[in-house]
Structures are given as structure tokens and as C-alpha cells.
Amino acid sequence: MTREVKIANKYIGDNHPCFVIAEIGINHNGSLENAKKLIDMAKSCGCDAVKFQKRTIELVYSKEELKTPRQSVFGETNEDLKRGLEFGFEEYQAIDEYCKKKNILWFVSCWDTKSVDFIEQFNVCAHKISSACLTDIELLKKVKSTKKPILLSTGMSTLDEIDNAVKILGEENLVIFHCTSTYPSANEELNLKVIPYLKEKYSCPIGFSGHEKGIFPTEASVLLGACAVERHITLDRTMWGSDQSASLEMEGLRKMIRDIRNIPVILGDGKKIVYENEIPIKKKLRKY
């Protein structure tokens, strides 16, 4: 077990400070330089980890889907777009080295079993199952076979589908993330009360993967018991790309992490006492 895996096992859990993941995903727009800037941003704001996405294009998409006309900076078809956004070995090797240099954890949402084998070359600290892949039984079994911490997003999923995924993955090494798969998510779609429900239903830690505008809902998720949170980040929300508008820029990310880190201090220990700073005020104001 590597140092990175031990750290992930230690900190992604109920009894530790909230684990904050910066989802870079495909917001690098196919640029390693952008990816490094986003890693720098996550590290400077105090994130615990960054996450990317990996797909084997010919396995994830049908030939018909790839041939579909789609204008982008990479070409005129859907295949041009998908391949343009995909990093290969050299890019991930550079990301691995850069994250180690910056002392920040990194891992990936793999969308197919071949991608799991590819990413395992870098001995990442954990694996994420995206909401889109929650019902992919072959992928779930493949990820479980790595014996690493697994983060499971539950957007667009029924309770029965979640139950089935949890049955396959087991709860021992699992964190379940409440999630809504709309980009960006409207307030009425967030349903944060699902977090305490999931904490009651399952014995594993519960997190929150947010796609909303702003930062308050993610902060509120921690108050409701989320031990880990994930948010998309971007260098600039006006950049080209499907996920940019639902992502946080540096200032928003910094404020969110500042507030999340303060939550345990604000909540205190639940024991009602008179604080030392209250004593002179009590003598001054209380008459009886």
C-alpha cells in the first residue's frame, strides 16, 4: 500500500476533517499547461486532492456517436472533441510527477475497465465511480479489484440502483457521494436532506458532489454530515467547455474551503458553558 493510498484511507472518513476534492475533469480542455494551473489553484486554496476523468473513446462511445457532427475547437465531429479532451500516458505521467512535487493527491473517474488498467500504472490513491457509471457492473467489479478507496457518485440514480452498486462494492472501503446530475443544479434539485438519510441507511461515510452555482449548498452539506466534498474547478467560467459554467473559480474555491475548515470550530463540542470572554460582560449586564 502506497503512502498516497494510506492517506486517502485515513482522511476520507467520518472521524476526520472534511476531505475536499477539486474536480478538474476535462476543464483542462486538452492542455497539460491548463491542468498544471488547475492543480496549482487547488493546492493554493487548500484542497486535499484533484481528480481527472479517463475514457477509452472507442469503448465508451459507439461509432455512430463518434461520427455525429459537432463543432468544437478540435474539429467537426464528436470524435474530434472526445479525442481532443483525452490525456494519454505522457500527460498523466507529467500530472503524477507534478502532483507529487506539489504534495497533493490525485485520482481519476474511469469510465471503462481498460481505463482502470491504464490509470493503475500510476498507483493512484483512490478511484471514483461517476454517476453515469453507477450501473456498470463490470466496471464496479474492476474498480473493487484494485483494493483502493472507492468514491461513488449517485446522481440520476434510484435507491435500488445505489443499493445494487453498494452490494457489489461493499461498504468497507467506500464513500457514497450524494449528487444531482444537472449542470448547474438548481437549488430545488439539490435535496441535501438525502445526506443524513444516506448516513442512516449505510455504514460507510457519506460525501457530497456538487454542481450548483455558488458555494453555500456545499458548505451546508458539511453541516448535514458530508465528510468529503467535490466541486468542479476552472481557470475561468467563460472558457470554452461543457463543465466550465458549473465550476468554481479560484476566489470561490478559496472562500468555500475557508468556510468548510471553520465549520468544526463553529459547531464546537455541544457542551454548554460560560466562556471566559463572557464573564466580564455577565458581571456588567446581569442584575440578578
Q: Which residues of the chain have pLDDT under 50?
A: none
pLDDT, one tens digit per residue, over 144-169 is 999 999 999 999 999 999 999 999 99
pTM: 0.92
Write the pLDDT tens digit of every residue in 207-243: 999 999 999 999 999 999 999 999 999 999 988 888 8
Termini Cα distance of the chain = 63
d(CA 22, CA 9): 18
SS3 118: helix
Its sign, for the CA torsion 55, 60, 62, 65, is negative
> What angle is formed at CA 206 by the lines to CA 204 and CA 212, rounded to 5 degrees?
160
Domains in the chain: ranges and CATH? 3-285 (3.20.20.70)
Specify the pLDDT at position 245. 84
| Cell numbers given for 50 | 484533484
Please give the pLDDT value at position 179.
98
Other C-beta atoms closer than 10 Å to the C-beta of 192 total 19
Cβ neighbours for 112, distance < 8 A, ≥ 6 positions apart: 55, 56, 59, 60, 139
